[in-house]
Amino acid sequence: MREKTIRWAFWTAVLCSLLLGTVLFSLCIGSVGISLKKIIEVICEGNTSTEYSILFDIRLPRIILGFAIGGALSIAGVILQGMFRNPLVEPYTLGISGGAALGVCLNIVLRLNHTLGLFSLPLFGFLGANLVIMLVYSLSIRRGILKIQGLLLTGIMISFIASSLIMFIMAISRVEDLHGIVFWIMGSLEEPNWFLIKLSVLVSILGLIISYRFSLDLNAFSLGEEEASHLGINIERTKRSLFVLASLLTGCSVSVAGIIGFVGLVVPHFVRMFVGSDHRILLISSFICGAIFLIFCDTLARTIISPLELPVGVITGILGGSLFIYALSKKQAVLGGK
Provide the binding-site residues for another protein, judged by CB under 8 A: 30-32, 47, 50, 52-54, 56-60, 64, 113, 118, 121, 171-176, 179-180, 183, 188, 190-194, 198, 201-202, 205-206, 208-209, 212-213, 215-216, 280, 302, 306-309
Q: What is the DSSP string of 64-91?
A: HHHHHHHHHHHHHHHHHHHHHT-TT--T
Tell how far CA 115 is from the center of its chain. 29
CB of 147 to another protein, least distance (A): 30
The smaller minimum CB distance to another protein, of residues 239 and 302, is found at: 302
The smaller minimum CB distance to another protein, of residues 5 and 322, is found at: 5
List helix spans (H) across 95-234. 96-109, 112-116, 120-140, 148-172, 175-186, 194-213, 215-221, 225-230
CB of 194 to another protein, least distance (A): 5
Count the Cβ atoms, other than its own, within 10 Å of residue 326.
10
The smaller minimum CB distance to another protein, of residues 126 and 137, is found at: 126
The smaller minimum CB distance to another protein, of residues 1 and 36, is found at: 1
List b or e across 102-123, with b for residues whose CB sees 16 or more CB atoms inside 10 angstroms: bbbbbbbbeeebeeeeeebbbb
Cα–Cα distance between 82 and 79 in angstroms, integer?
5
CB of 308 to another protein, least distance (A): 6
CB of 202 to another protein, least distance (A): 6
CB of 201 to another protein, least distance (A): 6
CA distances from 253 to 201, 214, 249, 259 (A): 10, 21, 6, 8
Cα–Cα distance between 147 and 58 in angstroms, integer?
45
Q: What is the DSSP string of 271-295?
A: HHHHH-S-HHHHHHHHHHHHHHHHH
Contact of 79 with 245, CB cutoff 8 Å = yes
CB of 312 to another protein, least distance (A): 12
CB of 81 to another protein, least distance (A): 21
CB of 212 to another protein, least distance (A): 5
Contact of 240 with 212, CB cutoff 8 Å = no
Cα–Cα distance between 128 and 136 in angstroms, integer?
12
The smaller minimum CB distance to another protein, of residues 209 and 330, is found at: 209
The smaller minimum CB distance to another protein, of residues 120 and 163, is found at: 120
The smaller minimum CB distance to another protein, of residues 51 and 225, is found at: 51
Cα–Cα distance between 61 and 78 in angstroms, integer?
26
The smaller minimum CB distance to another protein, of residues 94 and 281, is found at: 281
Cα–Cα distance between 74 and 76 in angstroms, integer?
5
Backbone torsion region of residue 111, taken as left when φ is above 0, otherwise alpha when ψ lies between -120 and 50, otherwise beta: left
The smaller minimum CB distance to another protein, of residues 193 and 241, is found at: 193
CB of 243 to another protein, least distance (A): 21
